[in-house]
């Protein structure tokens, strides 16, 4: 039986999203900001974050999948949904649910820099810094979580559990 152990409450997330929004509002004033939500997990975070940024901004979505097991990313990443609009000269902020090994973000940074973005930074709700394999930093991070497989607030396990308003650790008892 799978059990859910609370990690972040709805109120904690809301407070942190307001803080991130205030920081981004300062840092991106006067810039051409585009938030790119990485599907599927980031859509809930993106929806809240964009309303906490008091600046003109564009949003887009980008889909990636990594080959391999469902609960850990492998080295090979492929694009499952690309964007129509160009990013040349634009300040891109990649919005992720979780940065884990960092492979996905490292790959996406390359993609958008090679397409001519003026800058590419990362905002992640959760940073599992201890598990990093690729040498990348999260520029804006909501929370640091050391371990465990997390679900809720957009995060899934096998496409389930995304609907919860908080974040939980999924414990699979033997
Ligand atoms: P990375 O390439 O290893 O950084 O993997 C990042 C991606 O793996 C995230 O966008 C998530 O989709 C997924 N992921 C990593 N850890 C978790 C987790 O605890 N719960 C749900 N998805 C996760
Ligand atoms: Mg993801």
* pLDDT (average), residues 131-138: 92
Ligand nearest to the CA of 70: 1
pLDDT of 71 > 60? The answer is: no
In the chain the domains, ranked by start, together with CATH numbers, are 11-148 (3.40.50.2020)
45, 64, 80, 98: residue to mutate for ligand 1 pocket, most atoms within 8 A of CB: 98
63 beta partners? 39, 81
Q: How many Å lie between the centroid of ligand 1 and the Cα of residue 102?
A: 9
Q: Does ligand 1 lie within 6 Å of residue 41's CB atom? A: yes
Give the tens place of pLDDT for each residue, 75-95: 688 899 999 899 999 999 999
pTM of the model: 0.94
Q: What is the 3-state secondary structure (H, E, C) of 110-122?
A: HHHHHCCCCEEEE
Annotated active-site residue 27? The verdict is no
Q: What is the pLDDT of residue 1?
A: 63
Q: What is the pLDDT of residue 153?
A: 98
């Amino acid at each position: 039986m799978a059990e859910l152990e609370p990690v972040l409450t709805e109120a904690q997330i809301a407070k942190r999203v307001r803080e991130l929004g205030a920081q981004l509002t300062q840092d991106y004033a006067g810039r051409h900001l585009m938030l790119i939500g990485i599907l599927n997990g980031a859509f809930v975070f993106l929806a809240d974050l964009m309303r906490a940024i008091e600046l003109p901004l564009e949003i887009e979505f980008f889909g990636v999948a990594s080959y391999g097991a469902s609960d850990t990313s492998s080295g090979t990443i492929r694009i499952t949904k690309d964007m129509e609009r160009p990013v040349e000269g634009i300040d891109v902020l990649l919005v992720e649910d979780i940065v884990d090994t960092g492979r996905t973000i490292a790959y996406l940074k390359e993609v958008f820099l090679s397409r001519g973005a003026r800058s590419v930074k990362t905002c992640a709700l959760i940073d599992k810094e201890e598990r990093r394999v690729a040498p990348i930093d999260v520029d804006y991070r909501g929370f640091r979580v050391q371990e465990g497989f997390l679900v809720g607030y957009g995060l899934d396990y096998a496409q389930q559990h995304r609907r919860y308003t908080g974040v939980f650790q999924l414990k699979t008892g033997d």
